[in-house]
Amino acid sequence: MAYTLAQIAAHFGGRVLGDAGIEYDQITTLELANSRQISFLANSKYRAQLDSTRAGAVILGEADAEATDLPRIVTKNPYAYFAKVSAMLNPYPAAVPGVHPGAVVGAGAKIAPTASVAATAVIGSGVVIGAQSVIGAGCFIGDNVTIGVGVRLYPRVVIYHDCVVGDHLIAHSGAVIGADGFGFAMDEGRWIKIPQVGRVVIGDDVEIGANTTIDRGALDDTVIEDGVKLDNQIQIAHNVKIGAHTAIAGCVGIAGSTTIGKRCQIGGSAGILGHLRIADDVVIAAFTLIGKSIHEAGSYAAIFPFSKTDDWRKNAVHLRHLDEMSKRIKALEQALLKQGSIKGNN
């Protein structure tokens, strides 16, 4: 697959400068690109790399439009443009439509003729799979699951019964959607299981990383809105709601019944306790536990800064005495206040 800048600009817009008729077959970094490849400059601070690149063409922003003589496309958002061109140059391999004879399909399943179901996939009864969707090897789709169009389930994705998946979901291997939430009642020293009768309902254009888990709701549903992007190894507990276009990095855990706003960004290994509300446009740093609702957009953090282990040990020991330290400071202030050496203002 190869395209000229003219063809690319016809698809995605932008202003072509230089020779628009040369074909390119890949897009990559300024450092890696060769003359058959396009590159991109998404951040002006790397402008110097334009001088040394061997790329055949470049995508860049208005500010850098004249920073090179290479054939180029000038656009408002070079990084997004790069993503679009890359998708054009790197299409998914065509999946063979139809159900592989090594798949197992339950009674009453409705699989679109253009959908593809691989060997060893197991599809429950009453399942609906939309056009052009691809179900990989070893996937399990529980009874009465509904899957939209253009969905791509990599091998070994599991979707439990009754869940609903919108269009264009991408779910990576090992993802488990709709397992029971963690709900128990204590009864005379033993935990009694609370049946989890809700579902997981997933909007359109969602991506779910490898080995990420999203539990079904206890009574009501767990909801993942349109455009949400989840990295690997994430745990989403029952009845969580994640707002549209929120992106969550790997290893994050979100406890039950928490509602997260739209367009949030949550860093790796962060956590959010249960029954909280996080506003729209909140950014949470990696490794940060959110223990209270956040009502205001903005950036939040709680990271313990690392140091050499010896230094850490010397400093960390005082964390168990901060309250005492605070009281000692107050006592000193009182003494100096009494002397008249400092003035009180609190």
Which residue from 45, 51, 319, 344 is in contact with its own copies, where contact means CB under 8 A?
319
Tell me how far, at minimum, the Cβ of 1 lies from its own copies, in Å: 12
Which residue from 57, 59, 111, 158 is in contact with its own copies, where contact means CB under 8 A?
158
The CA-atom distances, in angstroms, between 79 and each of 24, 53, 62, 87 are 18, 17, 13, 13
- State the DSSP H helix or E strand holding residue 140, giving kind and residue range, or none if neither: strand 140-141
Residues of this chain, 5-64, that bind its own copies according to CB under 8 A = 26, 28-29, 32
Choices 44-52, 63-71, 107-115, 310-318 (CB under 8 A): range interacting with its own copies: 310-318
Choices 3-11, 16-24, 57-65, 277-285 (CB under 8 A): range interacting with its own copies: 277-285
CB burial class (10 A; 0-12, 13-18, 19+) of residue 19?
Answer: middle
Of the pair 63, 191, the CB lying nearest its own copies is at: 191
Residues of this chain, 118-137, that bind its own copies according to CB under 8 A = 118-120, 122, 136-137
Assess whether 168 carries a catalytic annotation: no
150: left (phi over 0), alpha (psi -120 to 50) or beta: left
Of the pair 66, 314, the CB lying nearest its own copies is at: 314
Query: 10 Å Cβ neighbour count for 210?
Result: 16
Residues of this chain, 207-236, that bind its own copies according to CB under 8 A = 207, 209-211, 213, 215, 219-220, 227, 229, 231-233, 235
Of the pair 19, 143, the CB lying nearest its own copies is at: 143
Choices 2-10, 56-64, 66-74, 189-197 (CB under 8 A): range interacting with its own copies: 189-197
75 binds its own copies (CB under 8 A): no
1 binds its own copies (CB under 8 A): no
Tell me how far, at minimum, the Cβ of 313 lies from its own copies, in Å: 7
Tell me how far, at minimum, the Cβ of 246 lies from its own copies, in Å: 9
Choices 3-11, 46-54, 65-73, 324-332 (CB under 8 A): range interacting with its own copies: 324-332
Q: Give every CB contact of residue 200 below 8 A, 6+ residues apart in sequence.
A: 159, 160, 163, 164, 177, 178, 214, 215, 216, 217, 221, 222, 223, 224
Which residue from 155, 277, 280, 293 is in contact with its own copies, where contact means CB under 8 A?
155
Please count the residues of this chain forming the interface with its own copies, following the rule CB under 8 A: 128
Q: Which of 238, 245, 295, 321 is catalytic?
A: 238
Structure tokens belonging to residue 98: 């139809």
Which residue from 61, 71, 138, 261 is in contact with its own copies, where contact means CB under 8 A?
138
Q: CA 180, 230, 25, 22 torsion: positive or negative?
A: positive
Of the pair 110, 193, the CB lying nearest its own copies is at: 193
The CA-atom distances, in angstroms, between 85 and each of 35, 141, 152 are 16, 33, 20
Q: Which position has the token pair 């888990």?
A: 213
DSSP symbol at 330: H
Cα separation, 303 vs 299, in Å, equals: 13
Choices 15-23, 48-56, 64-72, 177-185 (CB under 8 A): range interacting with its own copies: 177-185
280 binds its own copies (CB under 8 A): no
First to last CA, the chain: 72
Backbone φ and ψ of 148, nearest 5°: -75, -160
104 three-state secondary structure: strand
Q: Which residues carry out catalysis? A: 238
